[in-house]
DNA sequence: TGTGATATGTATGTTTTATTACATAAAATT
DNA sequence: AATTTTATGTAATAAAACATACATATCACA
């Protein structure tokens, strides 16, 4: 229920003090309601208890309840412009179109979640070619881990992507302090992720987590988090924003590595030429 | 001065605790900053004083100053709803930003390349659960093949993803007329793709090709092509538009399959519950 | 491996803030 | 005009929130 409406159509008669309060609250709604009782009372020219009584009259038992409701509504209002996609054009019950559009929204919405400093930090870590880099992910996000790894492999030595549980334990055992462990873990969080992160953390590796929300239970075992939205209109979550981040990361790293990587790229091309384009890597994905 | 910018480009280096706070604050900006110090500290997983120190670092002498600034900015933003509160122009030599943006362009540019009839056709084919579906891709695009397969596997039986050359030949031999062979092949086309498509075509399978816009030599052996752009500012190509297509395809298929798939999704969830969340599939990616 | 510097948390003091109880003022009613 | 009813403010209090000092832990570097 809209608080503005609650203010405008109260359940019972308003007293003069109430009316003063309504005027103040409505006159730059809703931020005026974020103040303290004392401030609000002063602005309206009434006493503190009058504020309390009014708040109770419109249906909140505590002042803080009123404020939280206000903030919640504020949040929705701030988020709506993004979520309101393509109100122009006809009805789209076309799931393809619909999914594609809401995926774009997710990408746009994920952009502000990225913290420049985090990226810089991560790129710096990844530039240290003598440190190992391990990529690992879940059922779906595992492909992103592989995708990142496929790029990293070209840019630097000492990278690995974990694709089986045996490999996981072996690799974790070998981790040295300062190595980088990159974990992908999105909604429907997987226990293997928690275990891996915990172990990597114990080994004093730098743990990087690509995930969808910040409040992952892994939070305090993780040195750096890169988060993205996963919600779409589809029954499945989207990993497109995450993939954008992976590609952007690769671009940043390439940029930082500079010319040294050009040579390596050449070499890779030459070698592919020699080996023919038909080889498969050990057990992961093919060339 | 914009507080968001202040958060993103602090005057001095950020400590780990600072970064946690930045993330939380940015995550639900700006309402997350309206909380009390204690709540904010708890959300970020740091202590109260860390919050205070951070607030001082970004230029506020008291916490309440920070909050007032936040509210003030909030007010402005609410008064000018669509005044583009995203990034403030500026030079764009940041490769991350640059790549992300040009990737979005690629996605937008790929949209008109999709032909609705093709999608409908493909969805129809994939709805035939008695036909086999084989996914296959290249060095990078192989992950997309895997990603598609991981979804298809949930939606229907008889799906397979090829991850090694042995598997490739065996699987191709077993193809029956009417089976569906989905090939991903993007710039730096790979010979394995040509061979596979040729074979699948001879076996009278339906060959679907996900590729980029340039005419692939495979075009005439292929029954259906879904193309996307791969160019970005990054030295590497992007597969993001292709991934959007894969997800949109999955959404369309889910929509078409309707309720029958709901039950299957339930079953999958139940089974995951029973098996625990820690198993790995044979050699591909883990659960 | 030890040492200085930095970062972070714990404990604590001080101020605000919300809330209640009660007294006073205003209004309505007879 | 007196009395009841309603509205409002004052003052007290308990809870919480902010802020600080200090101790501990962590990190960087020699």
CA atoms within 13 A on the CB side of B279: 8
Q: State the average pLDDT for chain A.
A: 81
pLDDT at A278 over 60: no
Chain B residues whose beta carbon lies within 8 Å of the beta carbon of residue A148:
none
% pLDDT > 70, chain B: 84
pLDDT at A270 over 80: no
Max avg pLDDT among A76-80, A243-247, A277-281, B261-265: A243-247
So what's the pLDDT on residue A282? 34
Strands A180-185 and B224-228: unpaired
Q: What is the pLDDT of residues A104-140, one digit of tens each?
A: 988 988 888 888 888 988 999 999 989 999 999 999 9
Q: Is the peptide bond before A8 cis (omega within 30 degrees of 0)?
A: no
So what's the pLDDT on residue A234? 85
b/e code A94-128 from CB counts within 10 Å (16+ = b): bbbbbbbbbbbbbbebbbebbbebbbebbbebbee
CA–C1' distance B52–D19 (Å)?
8
So what's the pLDDT on residue A183? 94
Left (φ > 0), alpha (ψ -120 to 50) or beta: where does B187 sit?
Answer: beta
So what's the pLDDT on residue A272? 63
So what's the pLDDT on residue B15? 81
Nearest to B142 by CA among A143, A275, A151, A282: A143
Residue B78: other Cβ atoms inside 10 A: 15
pLDDT at A86 over 60: no
Tell me the pLDDT band of A285, cut-offs 50, 70 and 90.
Answer: very low
pLDDT at B267 over 80: no
Nearest CB to A278: which of B137, B192, B285? B192
* Tokens (6 digits) for B229: 């752009």
% pLDDT > 70, chain A: 82
Tell me the pLDDT band of B280, cut-offs 50, 70 and 90.
Answer: very low
- Residues B171 and B269 sit within 8 Å (Cβ to Cβ): no
Name all domains of chain B by residue range, CATH numbers in brackets: 3-78 (1.10.10.10), 111-271 (3.40.50.10490)
State whether the Cα torsion A39-A43-A45-A46 is positive or negative.
negative
**CB contact (8 A) between residue B95 and residue A214:** no
Residue B211's SS3 state is: strand
Tell me the pLDDT band of A58, cut-offs 50, 70 and 90.
Answer: confident
Q: What is the pLDDT of residues A204-258, one digit of tens each?
A: 899 999 998 756 667 778 888 898 989 888 888 999 999 999 999 999 999 888 8
Residue for token pair 């503005």: A4
Rounded Cα distance between A230 and A50, Å, is: 45
Residue B222's SS3 state is: coil
| Mean pLDDT across B236-250 | 95
Residue B215's SS3 state is: coil
| Mean pLDDT across A40-61 | 86
CA–C1' distance B47–D12 (Å)?
33
Tell me the pLDDT band of A276, cut-offs 50, 70 and 90.
Answer: low
pLDDT at B130 over 50: yes
* Tokens (6 digits) for B230: 């791969």
pLDDT at A159 over 80: yes
| Mean pLDDT across A138-166 | 92
Rounded Cα distance between A84 and A105, Å, is: 9
So what's the pLDDT on residue B152? 94
Chain A residues whose beta carbon lies within 8 Å of the beta carbon of residue B250:
234, 236
Q: What residues contact residue A243 under an 8 Å CB cut-off, 6+ apart?
A: A144, A147, B239, B240, B243
So what's the pLDDT on residue B11? 65
Residue B10: other Cβ atoms inside 10 A: 17
This prediction's pTM: 0.68
Which strand C bases fall within 7 angstroms of a protein CB?
A: 6-11, 16-22
| Mean pLDDT across A10-26 | 78
So what's the pLDDT on residue A214? 55
* Tokens (6 digits) for B45: 């997983």
Rounded Cα distance between B65 and B70, Å, is: 9
Tell me the pLDDT band of B1, cut-offs 50, 70 and 90.
Answer: low
Between B26 and B182, the more confident residue is B182
Work out the minimum CA distance from B40 to partner chain A, whole angstroms: 12
Per residue, the 3-state secondary structure of chain A, as one string, reads CCHHHHHHCCCCCCCHHHHHHHHHHHCCCCHHHHCCHHHHHHHHCCCHHHHHHHHHHCCCCCHHHHHHHHHHHHHHHHHHHHHCCCCCCCCCCCHHHHHHHHHHHHHHHHHHHCCHHHHHHHHHHHHCCCCCEEEECCCCHHHHHHHHHHHHHHHCCCEEECCCHHHHHHHHHHCCCCCEEEEEECCCCCHHHHHHHHHHHHCCCEEEEEECCCCCCCHHHCCEEEECCCCCCCCCCCCHHHHHHHHHHHHHHHHHHCHHHHHHHHHHHHHHHHHCCCCECCCCCEC
Which strand D bases fall within 7 angstroms of a protein CB?
A: 6-12, 16-22
């Amino acid at each position: 229920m809209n608080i503005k409406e609650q203010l405008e159509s109260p359940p019972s008669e308003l007293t003069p003090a109430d009316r003063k309060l309504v005027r103040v609250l409505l006159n730059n709604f809703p931020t005026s309601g974020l103040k303290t009782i004392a401030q609000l009372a002063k602005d309206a020219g009434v006493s503190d208890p009058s504020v309390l009584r009014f708040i109770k009259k419109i249906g909140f038992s505590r002042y803080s309840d009123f404020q939280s409701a206000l903030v919640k509504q504020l949040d929705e209002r701030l988020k709506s412009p993004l979520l309101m996609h393509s109100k122009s054009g006809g009805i789209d019950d076309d799931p393809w179109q619909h999914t594609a559009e809401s995926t774009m929204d997710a990408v746009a919405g994920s952009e502000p979640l990225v913290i420049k400093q985090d990226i810089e930090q991560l790129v710096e870590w990844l530039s240290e070619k003598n440190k190992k880099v391990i990529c690992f992910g879940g059922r779906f996000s595992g492909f992103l881990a592989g995708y990142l790894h496929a790029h990293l492999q070209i840019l630097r030595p000492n990278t690995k992507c974990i694709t089986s549980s045996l490999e996981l334990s072996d690799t974790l055992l070998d981790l040295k302090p300062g190595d980088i462990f990159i974990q992908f873990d999105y909604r429907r969080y997987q226990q293997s992720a928690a275990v891996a992160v915990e172990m990597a953390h114990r080994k004093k590796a730098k743990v990087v987590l690509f995930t969808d929300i910040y409040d992952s239970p892994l939070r305090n075992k993780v040195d750096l988090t890169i988060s993205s939205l996963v919600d779409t209109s589809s029954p499945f979550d989207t990993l497109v924003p995450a993939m954008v981040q992976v590609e952007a990361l690769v671009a940043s790293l390439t940029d930082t590595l500079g010319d040294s990587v050009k040579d390596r790229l050449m070499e890779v091309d030459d070698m592919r030429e020699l080996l023919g384009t038909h080889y498969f890597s050990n057990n992961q994905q093919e060339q």
